[in-house]
Amino acid sequence: MKQDYFHRVAALTPTKMWINNVTPKEAQMAIAAGAVGCTQNPSYTWKMVNHETGKDRALALLDETLAESDDDNQVECILQRKLVKGIAEEFMTVYERTNGAHGYVSIQGDPIHEEDPDVIIEEGRRNREMSPNVMIKIPATKAGLAAMETLIAENTPLNATEVMGLSQVIDVCEMYEKITAKTGTRPVMYYSLITGIYDEWLAKEVAAQGITISPDILYQAGMVIAKKVYRFVHDRGYPLGFIGGGVRGLQHFTEMVGGDVCITMNWQGHADTLLELDQPVVARLFNPVQDHVLDELLTKVPAFRQAYMENGLTVDEYEEYGPVEYFRDMFVSAWENTLKLIKERRAAPAS
């Protein structure tokens, strides 16, 4: 009997499917389809309080949580933990079946105070208490790297996110090597290269700057960077796993097939579409980049050079790099929308 698409991908290649910002029902469907991990981000609470099937439960949990803190931001953090805990429970079946090799659910919380390493560390510790298969997701910025140093020493599974370029990957991997050599702890750790968001932002940047470039070449930009990152990490023997994220088109999964990578995507519009299309499994990650494609991107697009080159960005530049800000602004907007709702629910008269 023919297997579904993602099961065939897993059978024929080392490529793994993860799922992003799922409801409990979507988590169940994703696991059945072959998902071995999950990413949940700061927009998750806003999604759930508006979701057609999850709204009632999420709002009930919100009202329950209002009594647990007078601080609206803390209420949102607690609500996120309650919502994500249920997803972690769904993925415990994968975690237990694989003896902890897979089945992780990574959680990225408060995006407003992520410039403070102490806030990141304390929130990470609280989130980690939820379940042994919870992985702490932290932006690969200057503050995030400082927080990761502490949490790696505490043997905390980590996902370094908001990664948009090679220099961030190198700094994350070198930091992991330095801390683990000193402490002897070697927690499971991934870096998330947000290829889809990068491509989305770069198209807007090219238009805003009036750069004339072939759309076919621009379309490849994120994957050109992903291929270089994959090769670089492999050649240096860094032990971190590769997660591809921010999927905006099916190519952000299909073009990565063949590599030892995890690609996380939304269920609706991406995972379900790939299942329906049921395409042949073709390994594409190792297809070479044509010289003229790379030359045009490097020559015409400064923001591409920053992401592609080994020393394209400094640690101090990560937080304000265009696609990182673009991605984070989405999270801040969703987080603030939920904060507004919390304030309204707190002020509403009891029924």
Q: How many CB atoms lie within 10 A of CB 260?
A: 14
pLDDT grade, residue 326 (50/70/90)? very high
> 99's torsion region: left (phi>0), alpha (psi -120 to 50) or beta?
left
One DSSP character per residue, 63-124 reads HHHHTT-S-HHHHHHHHHHHHHHHHHHHHHHHHHHTTTSS-EEEE---SSSTT-HHHHHHHH
Whether 169 and 138 have beta carbons less than 8 Å apart is answered as no
pTM for the full model? 0.95
CB-count burial class (<10 Å; 0-12, 13-18, 19+) for 299? exposed
Mean pLDDT for 16-33 is 97
Q: Which residue has the tokens 């995972």?
A: 271
Q: In whole angstroms, give the CA distance from residue 88 to residue 287.
A: 36
Residue 2, pLDDT score: 67
- Asked whether the predicted pLDDT for residue 350 surpasses 80, the reply is no
Rg of the chain in Å (alpha carbons): 20
- Asked whether the predicted pLDDT for residue 54 surpasses 90, the reply is no
Q: What is the dihedral of CA 203, 205, 206, 209, to 10 degrees?
A: 160
φ/ψ (deg, to 5) at 188: -60, 130
Q: In whole angstroms, give the CA distance from residue 156 to residue 158.
A: 6
Q: In whole angstroms, give the CA distance from residue 323 to residue 308.
A: 13
Select from 84, 113, 105, 189 the least CA-distant residue to 123: 113
Length of the chain: 351
Q: In whole angstroms, give the CA distance from residue 335 to residue 329.
A: 10
Topology (CATH level 3) of domain 5-342: TIM Barrel (3.20.20)
pLDDT grade, residue 82 (50/70/90)? very high
The domain locations on the chain are 5-342
- 255-312 pLDDT, tens digit per residue, is 999 999 999 999 999 999 999 999 999 999 999 999 999 999 999 999 999 999 999 9
Q: What percent of the chain has pLDDT over 70?
A: 99
Select from 285, 284, 271, 283 the least CA-distant residue to 4: 271
One DSSP character per residue, 54-70 reads THHHHHHHHHHHHTT-S
